[in-house]
Amino acid sequence: MKRIASWFIALVAVLALTACATPQPAPIEIRTGVIEQITPAQIPTNHHQGLGAVVGGLGGLGIGSLIGAGTGRDVAMVVGAIGGAVIGNEVQKKHDQPIAGQQIIVRLTSGVLVQVTQPTVAGLAVGRRVYVQGSGEEARITLQ
């Protein structure tokens, strides 16, 4: 019975230590290719999406809390928060301008075509050899 218990404890210890091991990160894939086409593009900004509404709502809430007392104060706070959020969102929309970018199509050495939209990078031109770093929305084209 003690032998079975000691084997069981050893097995649990091994499983616990194995579960604690950190997996090695996957290597970053860097592919090479040649630019086939570059088209100017506008990249919408979403850097601080909703920040204007939040700041405006908090400001409206603060101003509303200074008005009246009791239930009237509560109503003023709610109206101030909603009004401030709407106004803050509109102000942010006016200041968020799209970024100049490029839609780049690259033929990889494997023959596969890859399209990446990114902010404008000086020096990229059709026929230039480039690296395609990353994948998905995070992919970027850099000169070789």
What is the distance between the alpha carbons of residues 107 and 111, in angstroms, rounded to a whole number? 6
Confidence at 105, pLDDT banded by 50, 70, 90: very high
* Residue 122 DSSP class: T
**Among candidates 96, 138, 97, which has minimal Cα distance to 116?**
138
What is the CATH number for 136? Answer: 2.40.50
Residues 102 and 91 reside in one and the same domain: no
Model confidence, pTM: 0.51
pLDDT at position 49 over 90 = no
pLDDT at position 137 over 90 = no
> Parallel, antiparallel, or unpaired for β 140-143 and 129-133?
antiparallel
Number of structural domains in the chain: 2
pLDDT at position 129 over 90 = yes
Print the domain residue range for 121: 24-44+98-143
What is the distance between the alpha carbons of residues 95 and 54, in angstroms, rounded to a whole number? 16
Contacts of 120 (CB under 8 A, 6+ apart): 100, 101, 102
Residue 6: inside a domain, yes or no? no
- At residue 28, the pLDDT reads 62
* Residue 26 DSSP class: P
Residues 57 and 40 reside in one and the same domain: no
Cβ–Cβ < 8 Å for 85, 68: no
Residues 77 and 113 reside in one and the same domain: no
pLDDT at position 22 over 90 = no
